[in-house]
Structure 1
Amino acid sequence: MEHGVTGRENPTSVVAASIADMCAVYVGTAPVNMVKERKINEPVLCYSYDEAVQSMGYLKDFENYTLCEAIDSHFSKFGSGPVVLINVLDPAIHKETIETQAIKKVNEKFTIQKVGVIPESITIEGQTEFICQFDDNGYLVIVGVTGDTINVGYDILKPSLVTDEQIIGGIDVSTGDEKGLECIENVFPKYRLIPDLILAPKFSTSPAVAAVMETKASKINGHFQGLALADISTKTVKKYSDVPQKKEDGNLNSTFLVASWPKVALGNSKYHLSTQLACIIQALTKENGGIPYKSPSNKSLKADSAILDDGTGVLLGPNKANYLNSNGIVTALNFIGGWKSWGNHTSCYPGVTDPKDMFIASRLMFNYLNNYLVKTYWQKVDDPTNKILINTITSSINIELNGMTNQGQIIGGRVEFREEDNPMTSLLAGKITIRVYFATALPAQEICFLKEIDVKYYNSIFG
């Protein structure tokens, strides 16, 4: 018994939506010899250029160090983030030994004019104490030694030793640690960010790598959904007309996978189209309050040419670009307004024509819907199944959908808890089903103007 006035609190009847930044996850190689705390097969979250360089090192060699392409694209060209970088290049494995060579002192220092030198591997004849640091070119500079010439031996990174199998990764049977693409499972538990976009520049031209990327994207941590962005090789496919067959040969046909061809360039820098597409998607999502309802097609690339791997230029008019689009391939078009990404379809098109699956924009929105529902209503799991629970969930989702409709982010949406979806056997087993109806705004990829003469206007001649 209590004497006096007391009070209690009831939980709010509407649940606040859980929304986070769209996150792009890259698996590849980085010049980690340049940093002290090396992260190998470990997700590293970066919100800025400086943060990424300090974590991974940086060289303007995107062919050998693919994560540097991601760093440059996101932070230097598009200003979009965050990104999670997963480096598989291990200086203990992917290296070669360079025989002892003589180096002369220049400007009071000794410089090994090769990139990829592993500092701890340095040996200098007759010297035991010295200091090493990297210059802006990625060359290792040695100071604190005597003499005008020194004999130096060292190991150097060899990124070419990284295989597709190491990008794919798996579980280390001896330690239980994840490797390669398997590390994607650790992104959300570590950072509370969903791997919305999954990429492996250069390596994703391998159908085996692309297949694993797609599998990961379709079911992350058993609950979330993402989108894999892959490329079709410009080394082996040099004509646009051959690209669709390469796509079919590689079995690239999933709603959770986007296939791109060719590469693009800005000045002397070459980029995989998938990387710039990820930047566009991320930037569009941020501009629109975290809702990825706009198509990345017909949006500006940071490019002044489209190229093959060897640098040969590729020019596609709308007819050729549309041929690729009609086969579920995103490309680059320089027609009106400069270089633009061009293509609305995921790789399942034209084999699948369900608008939910075939459009990149609708796939992104259905991924968003799924991930929003999982993150927001996980807190309600194991609550008592009663009218309060059902009304709280349905009311909250309807409020969210109505807000998105009013802002033009979707055409409409509603939630229903129906008796026919919830038989007694399911309720007794602790299972409930809530139906969500959802209409995304599909891209207006074909606008037709009908033109005709209206003869009444000729009467103005007599006026």
Structure 2
Amino acid sequence: MAYKHGVSVSELATSVLPSVDSPAGIPVIFGTAPIGMGKVENVNKPVLCYTYAEAVENFGYVPPALHAESGLKKFEYSISEFIDCAFSKFGISPVVIINVLDPTTHKATAKTTSVNLDTKTGSAVIAETGILPDSIELSNASTTYTQGTDFIAAFNEDGEIVLTSLKSTDGFKCATGTSLTFTANKTDPSKVDADDIVGGVSADGVKTGLELVEDIFPLFRLVPGTLIAPGFSGSPTVAATMAAKCEGINGVFKAISIIDIPTATVDQYGECAAWKNNNNIVDPAQIACWPMLRLDDVAYNMSTQLACLMPQVDADNGDVPYVSPSNKNFQMTGLTLTGGDEVVFGQDVGAYLNSQGVVIALNFIGGWVCWGNRTACYPGNTDVKDAFIPIRRMFNWVGNSLIQTFWQRVDAPLNRRQIDTIVDSANLWLNGLAARQYILGGRVEFREDENPTTDLMDGIARFHVYLTPPSPNRFIEFILEYDVNYLKTLFS
């Protein structure tokens, strides 16, 4: 030991740790994108986006188009629908987007076979979306034109390709005013199926589809809050996989998923409960929705809007998910089925569907709102921590936050200082939540009866967390009574 003479300073670790608040509502979408407009390498790759421009740059965007059979405008690509909702309708961020559409396999030949470039501008619009620019070939009987040398291809705001001839010393390089042969490939989202959403892990370890949930936290240090797959979640296989992936993300974290009951097959409200039970949509990690939403003449999957509504409500309440999304406004003007038929029902039908664990939209008082507090496990499971959406989300959020806060204490000596640091820090945090009325109360205890000697010897310590988030006040009753005593006022 070195000889010491003078003054020195040493430090001890702070006995109380500041908490890590894990965002509860970060939505993660698994879907299809017009990837030729974005970065074609963004296939089965989680991408974190904070702005509309960033999302469009990575995935492209095609606005909804009119479907003659339904009379509604619909999004051909589910990720375009999500981008519209997240950034234009609800103003939330960040979001995580995972496109499973692979342009090398989910493709078709463009319908357009000929094009006529304007004699003045040298341009023409290909009235199709999803065109893959690198696949474009343009020619006439005598010449095959080279993209980048003779002409350029760019997308307009409708997602259509605009071909423009470059100029030479004596005019346009491509022939104008005459029919040219046009060939190209385009992305085909109709070829994406449930198996692509479910995904898997290849022999060489490459993940696809829902398996990529595990990559989100290692990549971005953000815990997934809500998983959606609009247009695909009505598949029982997809729904079951989504629920399974919500449990034990990276072995420790929890999330929730939103399932759209398919209106193409379930076109009556009375069929929802049977479909839900027959397809085993009964997990606490699932929220079941019916039917579709309509904003003017544009149709939306309810899961898309609900996944955006929940973080908006969280943001209005300290980024804590203790407030239910029920009775909060959707961006909509009506309810619809896939085929375009309008759905109309009142509060009585809404109450019935809620009693079956189905979330709906209701126009009763205060405009169009989300209506329903129950997860899909209800009414089969009435445990309050599982059956109420905000309480299920609060348990997820508290658990995810505790994991991130105390991960730094893993492998520290299991002594009294370790125990006191965890108990005191967690209790201070829970007391703060209670003071702000995010919870009614909470505490952490290190109990002898839950920590047998053999476990302590093996380095295992258990801390019991007692937690009571407030239940949503789903029913308010006023009892009216005629009081004859007030007749005495006639004589006063």
TM bin (shorter chain): over 0.9
Q: How far has the Cα of 1:201 moved from its partner?
A: 0.5
SS of 2:423's equivalent? Answer: helix
Q: Structure 1 residues 304, 99: CA separation in 2 closer, same or farther (over 3 Å shift)? A: closer
Pair 1:157-2:160 in alignment: no
| Distance (whole Å) between structure 2 residues aligned to residue 353 and residue 91 of structure 1 | 45
Assess if the C-alpha contact under 8 Å between 2:22 and 2:400 holds in 1: no
Counterparts of residues 115-264 of structure 1 (less than 5 Å): 115-125=129-139, 126=143, 127-128=145-146, 129=149, 130-143=151-164, 144=166, 145-148=173-176, 149=178, 150-173=180-203, 175-264=204-293
1:101 paired residue number: 113
Q: How far has the Cα of 1:100 moved from its partner?
A: 7.6
1:31 paired residue number: 34
- The percentage of counterpart residues that share the same residue type is 42
Assess if the C-alpha contact under 8 Å between 2:281 and 2:377 holds in 1: yes
- Residue range with higher mean Cα deviation, 328-337 or 92-101: 92-101
Q: Partner letter of residue 30 of structure 1?
A: A
**Of the candidates 292, 317, 322, which is equivalent to residue 293 of structure 1?**
322
Q: How far has the Cα of 1:137 moved from its partner?
A: 1.6
SS of 1:38's equivalent? Answer: coil
1:7 paired residue number: 9
2:20 paired residue number: 18
1:114 paired residue number: 128
Counterparts of residues 367-378 of structure 1 (less than 5 Å): 367-378=396-407
Q: How far has the Cα of 1:302 moved from its partner?
A: 0.5
| Distance (whole Å) between structure 1 residues aligned to residue 363 and residue 384 of structure 2 | 27
Structure 2: 5+ residue stretches without partners: 65-73, 167-172
2:67 paired residue number: none
1:392 paired residue number: 421
SS of 1:228's equivalent? Answer: strand
Give CA deviations for 1:23-65 in whole Å, capped at 9, x if unaligned. Answer: 1100000011112453000001011111111111001135420
Assess if the C-alpha contact under 8 Å between 1:235 and 1:308 holds in 2: yes
2:394 paired residue number: 365
Q: How far has the Cα of 1:99 moved from its partner?
A: 7.3
| Distance (whole Å) between structure 1 residues aligned to residue 160 and residue 302 of structure 2 | 30
SS of 2:471's equivalent? Answer: coil
- Count of matched residue pairs: 462
Counterparts of residues 43-122 of structure 1 (less than 5 Å): 43-61=46-64, 63-98=75-110, 101-106=113-118, 107-122=121-136
Q: Partner letter of residue 172 of structure 1?
A: S
Superposed CA RMSD = 1.2
Q: How far has the Cα of 1:98 moved from its partner?
A: 3.9
Assess if the C-alpha contact under 8 Å between 2:22 and 2:401 holds in 1: no
Q: How far has the Cα of 1:462 moved from its partner?
A: 1.1
Pair 1:354-2:354 in alignment: no
Assess if the C-alpha contact under 8 Å between 2:62 and 2:75 holds in 1: no
| Distance (whole Å) between structure 1 residues aligned to residue 244 and residue 112 of structure 2 | 46
**Of the candidates 39, 44, 54, which is equivalent to residue 41 of structure 1?**
44
SS of 1:368's equivalent? Answer: helix
| Distance (whole Å) between structure 1 residues aligned to residue 113 and residue 330 of structure 2 | 45
Q: TM-score under structure 2 normalisation?
A: 0.92
Assess if the C-alpha contact under 8 Å between 2:357 and 2:379 holds in 1: yes
Give CA deviations for 1:254-294 in whole Å, capped at 9, x if unaligned. Answer: 11100000011111221111111111210111122221000
Assess if the C-alpha contact under 8 Å between 1:401 and 1:413 holds in 2: yes
Give CA deviations for 1:96-141 in whole Å, capped at 9, x if unaligned. Answer: 1247822111342132221111111111222123211111121111
Q: Partner letter of residue 84 of structure 2?
A: D
| Distance (whole Å) between structure 1 residues aligned to residue 155 and residue 53 of structure 2 | 16
| Distance (whole Å) between structure 2 residues aligned to residue 351 and residue 227 of structure 1 | 18
Give CA deviations for 1:403-458 in whole Å, capped at 9, x if unaligned. Answer: 11111111101111011111110011110111011111001101111110122211
Pair 1:317-2:333 in alignment: no
Q: Partner letter of residue 194 of structure 1?
A: V
Give CA deviations for 1:299-348 in whole Å, capped at 9, x if unaligned. Answer: 11110101111221111211101110000000011100110101110000
- Residue range with higher mean Cα deviation, 57-66 or 182-191: 57-66
Q: Partner letter of residue 421 of structure 1?
A: E
Pair 1:304-2:333 in alignment: yes
Q: Partner letter of residue 26 of structure 1?
A: I
SS of 1:209's equivalent? Answer: helix
Assess if the C-alpha contact under 8 Å between 2:359 and 2:371 holds in 1: yes
Which aligned runs of 4 or more in structure 1 are off by greater than 3 angstroms? none
Give CA deviations for 1:136-166 in whole Å, capped at 9, x if unaligned. Answer: 1211112224212321111111111101100
Q: TM-score under structure 1 normalisation?
A: 0.98
| Distance (whole Å) between structure 1 residues aligned to residue 124 and residue 30 of structure 2 | 34
